[in-house]
Structures are given as C-alpha cells and as structure tokens.
Structure 1
Amino acid sequence: MAVSKILIHISDRDKWRFVLNQIARLSEVEEGSKPDVTIIADGFAVGVCIACDRMLREQMADFVQRGGRLLGCEESLRFLNMKSENLPDFIQAVPNGVEEIIRLQGKGFQYVKA
C-alpha cells in the first residue's frame, strides 16, 4: 500500500539537497499516484530557507510548483534572529514546528525525520 500523505521533518541545515533529491525519486517510483508531501523545517534548517544559494532555492521552488508544501517554523527563526517575512513566498510560516507536526500526524500524515 502506498503512503499518500508524507511529512518530512528537517532540522539539519546540511540535509536539504538530500531530502529534495529523495522526494524527486519518490515521485518517480509512485507512478499513477502522486503522494501529498509536506516538508517542515525548524532548527538551523529553517535558516537555510532564507540564506541559501540560488540552486537550492530553485530546487525548493520546484518542489512547491510540483504540488509539495514547504513550512518554516517561526519560533526557530526567532531563535536565529531571522524574520518570517524574509522567507521566500513559496514557504509558509507556521508558529511552532512541533505543534504543526503533531497536527499533521493527526490528519494522517506519515512522519519521516530527515
């Protein structure tokens, strides 16, 4: 049985390319059915959403254009002295990453820690 709703939690700033490449491969494997994939970034990973190179930003934007969702934790941004207003338009800010993870798991998302 294919998992239709996947939540990927990333807190390590060095895992972005790995995660985005894995999601691209997942989409190739799931022929005929497109999984609903959400990435939630907290810790230092959410800071990368603001201060990353052009290539990584394009990978993130492409993921969202293909139907994925990117969420960034505002609490982590505050800890890093960053503002959610500086997130790219394709990233949705959520007040608390852990609360959002719990909420999405309650909606049937399968949790994967990157």
Structure 2
Amino acid sequence: EHYVGGGEDMDLSWRARLSHHRLGYAPDARMHYRLRGELSSLARQKWNYGRSGARLYDAYRHAGFRRRDGATVLMNWSWLLLHSPDLARSPALRRRWVRYGARLAGFLAGSVEQGVAYL
C-alpha cells in the first residue's frame, strides 16, 4: 500500500512488528524533517498526516493500533474552537492554528474515507 503524504514509516513499523521483527532504539539516529514555508503547503502536509492516521488505524487496529480516547478528541477540537481568534492575531499563531486544524480535519476526512471513527 502507498500512503500519500505520510504514514509510510508507521506502516513499515507495524508490518515489521507483525512479522515478528525486533524494533530497537537508536539514540544517534537522525531524521530529516522539512518545514513547509507556505501556509497552504503546511496545511496540505498536516491534512495528509491526519488522513494517513485514519488509514493506519483501519489497517492495524486489529493488531493494537489505538485511536485517541474521547476526552482527548474533545479537548483537541475544543482547543481549535477556542483558539480561532489566533487566525487574526499573528502569523505565528495563525500557522500553529492551521497546522493543528488541518491535522484534525485530516483525521475527520480519513475517517469518512476509511469508514472508521478516527477523530
């Protein structure tokens, strides 16, 4: 399977685990992470991460992949609503809100696409 915009690493980890391979911690490992410059690019990235989360949940819930509990979901969506004024306050706060909101919206879209509740 192909995960558009994120999720490949988690998919690989779950497949390795289910194939009885051992995963280990590498304290000197480095990860390259590219920050998105444009707000629309950041939103698209986080949207895809959210959609991938729902897809991973659908694929691996039988093996123990867990979704967030109801209290966390409520807290996350409440945060988004309460921080809506940040959209007008400053570019940094707007960026934070868009990053967070796009991921939550991706969870919702992925839930619909996969037919699961991964909010």
Structure with a larger share of its residues in helix: 2
Q: Which structure is higher in strand share?
A: 1
Does the pair score TM above 0.5? Answer: no
Q: TM-score, normalised by structure 2?
A: 0.26
Structure showing greater Rg: 2
